[in-house]
Amino acid sequence: VLPRQTCGLFTHTIFYKEYPGGPKELDKSIGGGELFLTVLLNPISIFMTHLSNYGNDRLGLYTFTNLANFLKCWTNLKLHTLPPLQLAHKYFTLFPEQKNPLWQNPCDDKRHKDIWSKEKTCDRLPKFMVVGPQKTGTTALYLFLIMHPFISSNFPSVKTFEEVQFFNTNNYHKGIDWWVPGTCMLYMEFFPIPSNVSTDFLFEKSANYFPSEETPRRAAALLPKAKILTLLINPADRAYSWYQ
């Protein structure tokens, strides 16, 4: 799936005079504003629109026809279109590092938050993580932490018990809404809704995160403000614990 840009058109954006902020906001975005800069600064742009944008006042056609005319008049950009498969090949040739997704918090960007379902909340993302390593007492720490009335951990997984193991497995590629067979639970649904966002702390404990090369980058992108807890003990004690 190629990344898509927003263009200010949503399912309810169907009348020119009723555009949020007034028609001038839409025209400003087209004529040198956010929409124009999106095309100017990205070699490949894929915009998300809705069927309703092509009925009523046809704002979809209005927006992109005027955007193309503005670009043609005021820039030397040459616009091209490609079929989906060829476009994907072109995109990943330019950005091979993006073949693997890197999920970010959907509430950190106002544009993303505007299209985020009102039934969902980013308050269910953990505020700190216990990342291991294994055989250092992470399970004991987990049990001690959840005794505190203001600290809650994720709900148990059918396969991995108290560990979610999201950032270090293929479940990550399914996004923050990945589904676990047999549980009907999404990633954020592993965490309870905090009764008080300012005082309650959610966390997850996955000891397999410690040796994972992908986990630091992925966790930093999705949870940039989260605290990281690591337990370090004598390697000989760890080896003996494994032996036992």
**CATH 3.40.50.300 at 122-243, yes or no:** yes
Structure tokens at 65: 């026809």
pLDDT digits (tens, 9 = 90+) for 103-119: 988 888 877 777 777 77
198 marked as binding residue: no
Three-state secondary-structure class, residue 43: coil
Q: What is the mean pLDDT of the chain?
A: 90
Q: What is the pLDDT of residue 187?
A: 79
Q: Is residue 209 within 8 Å of residue 131, measured between CB atoms?
A: yes
Burial class (CB in 10 A: 0-12, 13-18, 19+), 201: middle
Q: What is the pLDDT of residue 181?
A: 52
Annotated catalytic residue: which of 90, 135, 159, 225? 135
Domain regions of the chain by residue span: 16-99, 122-243
Known catalytic residue at 118: no
Q: What is the pLDDT of residue 158?
A: 83
Q: What is the pLDDT of residue 5?
A: 79
Q: What is the pLDDT of residue 90?
A: 94
Q: What is the pLDDT of residue 110?
A: 79
Tally Cβ neighbours within 10 Å of residue 239. Answer: 11
List average pLDDT for each run of 10 residues in the chain, which is 244 residues long: 80 94 96 95 91 95 97 95 93 90 86 74 91 93 95 89 90 71 67 90 95 95 96 93 87
Q: Record the pTM.
A: 0.70
Q: What angle do CA 160, 154, 184 make, to 5 degrees?
A: 70
Tally Cβ neighbours within 10 Å of residue 244. Answer: 6
Q: What is the pLDDT of residue 71?
A: 96
Q: What is the pLDDT of residue 179?
A: 54
